[in-house]
Amino acid sequence: MKAQLKLGSLMLVLLMILAACGGDDKNSAEAEIAKLDVNTPDGAFMASIAAMKSNDLKSLIKNSLSQEQYNELVTEFEENKTGNFSEADKAQFAQTISMLTSAGAEDNLYAMVEPQLEQARAMLPMMLMMGKDQILQGIKENPMLPETQRDSAATVVGAAMDWLGENDILSEDKTKAAIAALVETAKALDMESLDDLQNMSFDQALDKGSIAFGGVKNILGAYGISMNDMLDSVEVDTIDVQGDKASMNVSFEVFGEQVKQTMNMIKKDGVWVGEK
C-alpha cells in the first residue's frame, strides 16, 4: 500500500511538472455522484467514473480512497512535493513553461516538430506492423500484470495499435490541434516555476491536476480519441457481495472493441474501494 500511495502522490507532482498534458476546465462531479448509492460497490465504482468524466480529481480521490488511505496520500504528497529539484530542473521547467505560454507558441512548436512529421509518417506503419505481436506477447507474459487482466490489456493495446494504423494521427491538422491543446493547458495551469508547486497545498495540487487531466482528454481528442465516450460506455453487472468484499463484471468500449474485466472491491472504513 505504501508504495502505491507514494506512486499516487508522485503522479500528482508529475502532473504539475509535465505541463505538456493539454487543458480543459473541470466541472464538479458532485451532482452526478449524488444520484448514485456510493454505499454499494457498483455505486462507488461508478462515482469514480463520473469524477473522471468531469475531470474532478477531488471527487475521484474522495470516492476511491478510505479515510486512512486519503490521509496517507496527503502525507506522501507533502513529503514528496519539494522533489529535491536542482537549479537545473527549475531552469528547465521555467524554460518549458515560457516556450508553451509565450506569444506565437503554437506556430513555434509546430515549426519545431514539422521536420520530423514526414519521416514519422513513413516509419509508423512499419513500426506498428513489426512491433504489435512482440508487444502483445510481452503483455501476456508480463509477471507484473495479474493474469486476470492480461487478456483485456492485450485487447486494448492491440485495438489501439490497429486504430493508429488506420488513422492519420500525424496529419498537419491533428498535430496543430494537439499543440493548441497543449498550449491552452500550459496557460490554464498558471505556473511559472517549480516554486509554485512546492508552495501548493494538496487541494491546490488536485485543482491543477484536474486541469492537466482535462488536457490529456483534449490532446487525445485532437487525434480523434474520446476518453469520455469510453467512460460513458462503462457498464457494471453481476455484482457479488460477500461481507466487506465484492466482485463485479465491468465492460467498456475502446477503439471499437468491447472489453470485459472482473473488478474486485473491498470495504475499508465504510468506503468501497478497489482491491489492490
Residue with the three cell numbers 475531470: 55
Find the farthest-apart pair of alpha carbons in the chain and give their distance in angstroms, rounded: 60
- pLDDT tens per residue, range 101-146: 999 999 999 999 999 998 898 899 888 888 899 999 999 999 988 8
Distance of alpha carbon 236 from alpha carbon 234, whole angstroms: 7
Residue 35's pLDDT is what?
93
In the chain, at which residue ranges do the beta strands (DSSP E only) sit? 235-242, 245-254, 257-268, 271-274
On the question of pLDDT at 27 being above 80, the answer is: no
Question: What is the pLDDT averaged over residues 200-207?
Answer: 93
* 209 closest CA partner among 51, 76, 68, 6: 51
26, amino acid identity? K
Which of 23-27, 96-100, 214-218, 221-225 has the lowest average pLDDT? Answer: 23-27
Could you tell me how far CA 53 lies from the centroid of its own chain?
A: 11
Question: What is the pLDDT averaged over residues 18-35?
Answer: 61
- pLDDT tens per residue, range 235-271: 999 999 999 999 999 999 999 999 998 999 999 988 9
pTM score, two decimals? 0.81
* 40 closest CA partner among 235, 241, 233, 264: 241
**Beta-strand relationship, 235-242 and 271-274:** unpaired
Residue 147's pLDDT is what?
83
Residue 57's pLDDT is what?
94
DSSP 29-92: -HHHHHTS-TTSHHHHHHHHHHHHHTT-HHHHHHHHS-HHHHHHHHHHHHHHTTTT--HHHHHH
